Amino acid sequence: MPAAAGTVLSLHRWPVKSLAGERVDALRIDGRGAGGDRAQALLAIFGGARRRLTVRQAPRMLAWAAAYPDAPGERLDPDAPPLPVVTAPDGRAFRWDDPLLPGALRDDIGRPVTLARDLALMPDLPDSLLITVEASRAALEAEVGAPVDLRRFRPNLHLRLDAPPFAEADWTGRRLRVGDAELELLHPCERCAIPTRDPDTQAKWPQLLRHLARAHDTLFGINARALRPATVRTGDAVALL
């Protein structure tokens, strides 16, 4: 199978699961994932139990954003991330421990919530990072004939590689060197309905998921796991091993 090489185009952190996140210049990663990524979540009662709330149940969550302004880039310690700052659609900012935050979220998204924090991180696939590739994003955009915002897919690392679009679907079991980091590539990411929601307006675009199902087996991006703690940076060299 051919090798591929390129660079890191962008890095992304999502401090609160299903809220908008932040683009950063560096990420400290380890076997759990990216430091601070999805370390917080909203909990609500649905399906007869208290569960982590996502865009599937409450699309309005995308109108809220979370960031770590006190720990930009590699200054965030994965073992001790600060509490994030959550910004409401009207611009009000709340620290994660602000007693007014649960009520503000309830009033805007329409259901009571409680706040959870777990430094083991809470991605859909435990102990993982999500990687996307620009050639695949651009090809998908051409296939559907409309802009496809990368934020729909909520990656951690977005790469430019000298590989054909969607080649990453065949990279299960291989390794990827990113700067000083080495990642084990686990399997392509099977997408749910979350990418059908516009990250700015929350408008639904079901045709996007239908196209991914028809043309790409509902796959976009690839899950990975860091083999050792490392720091990755925008512009780092990338090589498929």
The long-range contacts involving 90-98, CB below 8 angstroms and separated by at least 24 positions, are 96/40
95 lies in the same domain as 137: no
231 lies in the same domain as 167: yes
Residue 29 counted as domain residue:
no
Integer Cα distance of 13 and 212 in angstroms: 24
152 lies in the same domain as 200: yes
What residue type is assigned to position 131 of the chain? Answer: I
78 lies in the same domain as 184: no
pLDDT reported for residue 196:
98
46 lies in the same domain as 100: yes
138 lies in the same domain as 225: yes
111 lies in the same domain as 151: no
Residue 187 neighbours by CB distance under 10 Å:
15
147 lies in the same domain as 86: no
129 lies in the same domain as 108: no
pLDDT reported for residue 67:
98
Domain count, the chain: 2
pLDDT reported for residue 48:
86
Integer Cα distance of 22 and 141 in angstroms: 23
Integer Cα distance of 133 and 155 in angstroms: 10
86 lies in the same domain as 47: yes
Q: How open is the CA angle 183-187-189, to the nearest 5 degrees?
A: 110
User: CB of 34 within 8 A of CB of 13?
Assistant: yes
176 lies in the same domain as 233: yes
The residue range of the domain holding 87 is 36-117
CA atoms within 13 A on the CB side of 239: 6
Integer Cα distance of 188 and 214 in angstroms: 16
pLDDT reported for residue 1:
57
CATH number at residue 176: 2.40.33.20
Integer Cα distance of 157 and 214 in angstroms: 26
Which domain-ending residue is among 91, 117, 143?
Answer: 117
pLDDT along the chain (241 residues), means of 10: 88 98 98 98 92 95 98 97 98 98 97 97 96 98 98 98 97 97 98 96 97 98 98 98 95
134 lies in the same domain as 230: yes
pLDDT reported for residue 187:
98
Q: What is the pLDDT of residues 152-190, one digit of tens each?
A: 999 999 999 999 999 999 999 999 999 999 999 999 999
Token readout for 112 is 């009571």
